[in-house]
Amino acid sequence: MQIIRTSIVSFFKNNYMQSCAALAYYGMFASIPLLLLAALLLGRSITSSQAALMGLRRLTYLLVPEFQEIIVKEATSLSRLAMTWGWVGFVSCLSCIFPLVTAIRNVFLTIFGAKRKRTFLIELMRDFVTVILLIVLLIFLVISEIIYDELIIVLLKAVSFPLYIFDFLVNVVISSIGLTVFYYVFIPVKAGFRPIGVTAGLVSIFWGVVSPMLVFFLTLNPKFGIAFGSLKAIFLIFMWVYGVFCVIVLGAECIAQWYLQSQKDVRS
């Protein structure tokens, strides 16, 4: 509890909400290219591309449950033009993801008080590898959702367990695995598996509880954001992505505080 309390205080004291706003801006631009590349690669790797899109829809629901149809619809429309893209389209998608990767790395470096020690070219290659890893991670999560959809019917026949509880637990497990890999990729120090794994689990549970509450809030307030007119959906998606990054950055702060505490214990 002490680490969580210290992390929350540090989060607001260091004004990381401003950093989360920047990440949300880059995340908005990177979301469609990420989903599009995953859909294209999955469409060629598995038997049914419709199953891949269904997995993308479920995964998007975990992040932005109120607007997953809009995002997946755009990715689907663009994927139909994949044959006309070539390498130019592929590089364009990667270039949209690069700023997000760089921004996340810079925020995590600030949180852990670290600095970039490598040359520009090596850092550029590292960011490129990170982009590829993010795409692979997204594909893994989509495949996990596809497998879950295939197994859920069999499991429900064999186990008498409430569907919503089972669905929540599975989504928490999938999200925890994804966040653990995500933190491992971006954290600039060797924090250890326990701080990263525990924090990833707590972040997944927290977002799994908060996300339906936000959906319920929008259901009760359908005119929320109406001042933005036709841009209402963009505004709400941006706010949702902003909330996701606030939770992720707060989790990184918890890992940083845990890491600092462990370093103090070793020295003493």
Cα–Cα distance for residue pair 170/145, rounded to 1 Å: 9
Question: Where residue 12 falls among pLDDT bands split at 50, 70, 90?
Answer: confident
- CA dist., res. 107 & res. 109, Å (int): 5
SS (H, E, C) 214-249: HHHHHHHCCCCCHHHHHHHHHHHHHHHHHHHHHHHH
Nearest to 168 by CA among 152, 154, 146, 184: 152
With tokens 């925020």, the residue in question is 107
Between the alpha carbon of residue 142 and those of residues 39, 106, 145, 168, 185, the distances in Å are 9, 27, 5, 16, 19
Q: What is the mean pLDDT of the chain?
A: 75
Window from 179-183, 230-234, 244-248 with minimum mean pLDDT? 230-234
Q: What is the distance between the alpha carbons of residues 32 and 117, in angstroms, rounded to a whole number?
A: 32
Sign of the dihedral defined by the CA atoms of residues 226, 227, 231, 234, in that order = negative
User: Where do we find the tokens 């995590």?
Assistant: 108
Q: List the single range of 46-50, 89-93, 159-163 with lowest mean pLDDT.
A: 46-50
Across the range 168-185, mean pLDDT stands at 84
pLDDT at 71: 60
pLDDT digits (tens, 9 = 90+) for 60-85: 666 655 555 666 665 566 555 555 56
Q: Does residue 96 have a pLDDT over 80?
A: yes
Residue 160: left (phi > 0), alpha (psi -120 to 50), or beta? beta
pLDDT for position 46? 46
Decide: 214 and 240 in contact? Cβ < 8 Å. Answer: yes
Quote the pTM value.
Answer: 0.78
